[in-house]
Chains A and B, each alone.
Chain A
Amino acid sequence: MVDPVVLSRAQFALTIIVHIVFPVLSMGLAPFLVYFTWKEIRTHEPVYEQLRRFWARVFAISFVTGTVTGIVLEFEFGTNWSEFSRAAGAVIAGPLATEGMMAFFLEAVFLGVFLFGRDRVSDRTYFASAFLTGLGSWLSATWILIVNSWMQHPRGYQLVTRNGETVITLTDPIAAYANPRFFWEFVHMQNSAVLSVALLIAGIAAYYVWTGRATAFWERSLKSALAVMVVSAPFQVIHGDAYARHIANTQPEKFAAMEAVWETARYVPEYIIAFPTTFSQILDPRAKELVGIGIPGMASWLASGGNPNAPITGLSEFANVGTPPIAVVFWSFRIMVALGFWFIVLAFWGGYRWRTGELLEDRLLHKALMASSVLGFVAVEFGWMVAEIGRQPWIIQGVMKTSEAVSPDLSGSDALLTFAGFAVGYLGLLVLVVYVLVRLIRRGPPTVRDGPDRNPGDQGVPTDD
């Protein structure tokens, strides 16, 4: 029978890879929805009501799917990772419970008012419901990332023996929860969510422009999205660079895996583009043997914050505790970074066309935006793989290994059954959600009272029912 540890890892990976799409969508949409609601109430322009109603539908689907897939994750700590829960509960469960009490209630309750209450509450209360829904989704990320940052960089704890078991006790809440890693993760995550949603909105708007249906609604959407991209895309890369330095200091194994540095060396180059020469080097990249364009000394310079001759500790030094799967980490990191630079190109390209007044004419830009509409989410997925696979074999860096965290009595057949269930169920769910979203996008924005720009989607665009 298959190993329950392997299956539990695969199941957790699958459930989180699917789940993360929806919080990113919700968190990224939140500031847009707050802005649209604000403008709707202040200006009474129908286009803002359309924008608010259209994106609120997307938010609703995202929230429901995020809830359904997120509860699974909470329960999986107990079902599949009971040793981890038992050992680390005193440190990590408090923030998780607080997420429920402080953030999830806020988001869920006020989303009810936001989605169903437009005609039942005053403008002021309605705006508050939009704001509180968005605040809830951002606070959720806060508490989840407090837990994650502690697992990446554990502080403020002690190992003690209790009832004959070694457990982790909290000794210094400030050190544990106001963890320096948290601030890096939070800024990187939230900015990526906003950027991902801006790319999505820009891509959908570009589709309407490209097909010759550029109404005020879509033009406004495109411009809002581009404005956000121009700020968030460069910021993501600049911030990411400083974040990598923090990782080099606190998780040298992960940094070495990101750069595939095997032997400790000085003056290590940063490969902007890397080609493996043989198939085996795709699966086992070693920076020294790759062909590509590298900036000499750059990786050392990045890791040390300005010294091109600084040493980088190689992976071979960590071999006694096991190293992460290098290939996944190395290539995921490169894909994420490459996408980050591509988003800057897109943002400046679009910004330039906006300035020259040719935003609606540049067909190539529209195609590029359409092709890139979901790439923000792709970058988030690869970024998470770098963060989570890069710290293996540890579930808590330097404290507990993932293989020691799994439920001891879990049988291979039970684990296989649930894993198969998730594989089928989540695949079906993804297909359905994409189907529903594509339908929503093809139908376009809702018609509103006194709307000056009637959407052609309400008159003649074929829909499939």
Chain B
Amino acid sequence: MIESVLSLDSAPLFGLPLEAVWFVVLFFFLAMFLFLDGFDFGIGALFATRNDDEDRNQLLAAVGPFWDGNEVWLVVFGGAMFAAFPAVYANLFSRNYLLLFALLFALGLRGLAPEFYEQREDRGWRRAWGWAFVVGSVAAPFTLGMFAANWLLGSTRLVTIPGVVVGLAVVALTIVEGSGFLVLKTRGELRTEMRRYGTRAAVAYLALVVVTLGWLLVMTPRLRDALLAPLPLALVVLTVLLVVGVIAAHRREADVAAFCASGGLAFGLVALVATLLYPTIDPAADLTVGAAVVPLLSLNLMTIMAGVLLPIILGYFVVLYSVFSGPIEPEETY
């Protein structure tokens, strides 16, 4: 087994060179994170709109069994980037030093807040941890969006205008996703309100995407050409269609469709970033996928590991989401 791995040349998989496969895998991990943990962030942001204890418990109960498994997609995104493209990992993470720590701080706050929230019942304590939950849930996608924009633009500055706009767009996207998930998990008045928030957030997301694309077309000649290729244009059209789909689904109370369309938006955004990058993977260092990839033996081992484990992992998620399917029962808490 190991001998044959050692002797493999750069064997193409599905007609793609192995480094391109890992480029796709990397962005698949990122998309899964943005899709799954994205709705957790959105629920965290929507927590700010609820004053009623019962509503707040519903939102926390909706996140409870899922968030930690969802967040692991970020861990494997980091791990896969480190394993397949260590130079990119080293460049991007050290270049965006303070931004990365802001993201980690936000994720920490988002993870810890619900755990502490439910430890005591008095008002001040719950108020403080409720706000911590909201702030962490908004700051995490915002910093993630800024990181993605810096990556794509090859920016060496921490805060840029497109970075802020993309950050806001990702926040809006997570609210679309969060409300999409909550319409599946709640009932009655709460569900109606979530449909309304989902519609508004979808409009905001579309507006922010248009602003971002406008900026790219006008200000960045390199990305202008990349953007005007067929695949990125198709992804832009898809994004517009999915936004319309989310709004129409909420209007018709087609809740499953609304949730699926919001997930499609997450995948569409990540795919757009990936297609604008490829075959470059680190524009600031002018590194292509081929130049940044690890030597073949390490890459082959990783491919075997991922090939065996990914189907199993997807199986876990099927188990998890089917065990906790359907609306929150009244007695369920965080």
| Residues of B with C-beta under 8 A to A279 | none
B65 and A93 contact, CB distance less than 8 A:
no
Q: Which residues B93-137 have CB closer than 8 A to chain A?
A: 93-95, 97-98, 100-101, 104-105, 107-108, 111-112, 115-116, 119-122
Q: Which residues on the A side are within 8 Å of B68 (C-beta)?
A: 63-64, 67, 108, 111-112
Q: Which residue of A lies closest to B109 (CB)?
A: A68
- Taking A71-B104, A112-B68, A169-B295 as contacts, is the C-beta distance between A82 and B122 under 8 angstroms? no
Quick one: closest A residue to B156, CB to CB? A409
A224 within 8 A of B: no
Contact string against A for B residues 16-38, beta-carbon threshold 8 Å, 1 for contact and 0 otherwise: 00000000000000000000000
With beta carbons under 8 angstroms apart, the residue of B83, B94, B119, B323 that contacts A97 is B83
Cross-chain contact of B65 among A89, A112, A162, A421 (Cβ < 8 A): A112
Closest to B325 in A: A120
- Is A121 an interface residue, CB under 8 A from the partner? yes
Q: Is B193 an interface residue (CB 8 A)?
A: no
Separation in Å of the A284 CB from the closest CB of chain B? 36
Q: Is the CB of A68 within 8 A of B94?
A: no
Which secondary structure characterizes the binding site on chain A? helix
Report if B74 contacts A (CB, 8 A): yes
**A13 vs B90: C-alpha distance when bound (angstroms):** 20
Q: How many residues of B contact A (CB 8 A)?
A: 60
Cβ contact within 8 Å between B320 and A112: yes
Contact partners of A418 in chain B: CB under 8 A? 97-98, 101
Instruction: Assess whether A117 is interfacial by the CB under 8 Å rule.
Output: yes
- Residue pairs across A and B with CB atoms within 8 Å: the count is 203
The reply to whether A90 and B111 form a contact with Cβ atoms under 8 Å apart is no
Secondary structure dominating the interface of B: helix
Q: Is the CB of B94 within 8 A of A410?
A: yes
How far apart sit A436 and B113, CA to CA, in the bound complex (Å)?
Answer: 13
B231 within 8 A of A: no
B233: A residues at CB distance < 8 A: none
User: Which residue of chain A has the shortest Cβ distance to B68 in the bound complex?
Assistant: A108
Separation of A296 and B322 alpha carbons in the complex (Å): 66
Task: Select one of A98, A174, A429 contacting B112, CB under 8 A.
Answer: A429
Chain A interface residue number, banded = 35 or more
Stretch touching chain A among B163-171, B243-251, B303-311: B303-311
Contacts of B116 in A (CB 8 A): 432, 436
Task: Please name all residues of chain B whose beta carbon is closer than 8 Å to the beta carbon of A69 when the two chains form the complex.
Answer: 108
User: Are B72's CB and A90's CB within 8 A?
Assistant: no
CB distance from B143 to the nearest CB of A (A): 12
Contact yes or no, B324 A117, CB < 8 A:
yes
User: Contact at A101–B317, with CB atoms within 8 Å?
Assistant: no
Residue pair A108, B82 in contact (C-beta under 8 Å) = no
Query: Which residues from chain A contact B320 at a C-beta distance below 8 Å?
Result: 109, 112-113
Tell me, yes or no, whether B237 is within 8 Å of chain A by CB: no
A112 in contact with B66 (CB, 8 Å):
yes
- Within B76-95, the residues touching A (CB, 8 Å) are 76, 78-80, 82-83, 86-87, 89-95
Chosen A-B contacts, 6 in total, with CB atoms closer than 8 Å, are A83-B90, A93-B82, A93-B294, A116-B64, A407-B90, A432-B116
- Mark A residues whose CB is within 8 Å of B: 60-61, 63-65, 67-69, 71-72, 74-75, 77-80, 82-83, 85-86, 88-91, 93-94, 96-102, 104-106, 108-113, 115-117, 120-121, 125, 162-163, 169-171, 173-174, 407, 409-410, 414, 417-418, 421, 425, 429, 432, 436, 439, 465
Taking Cβ atoms with an 8 Å cutoff, the residues of B that contact A are 2, 64-66, 68-69, 71-72, 74-76, 78-80, 82-83, 86-87, 89-95, 97-98, 100-101, 104-105, 107-108, 111-112, 115-116, 119-122, 291, 294-295, 297-298, 301-302, 305-306, 309-310, 313, 316-317, 319-320, 323-324, 332
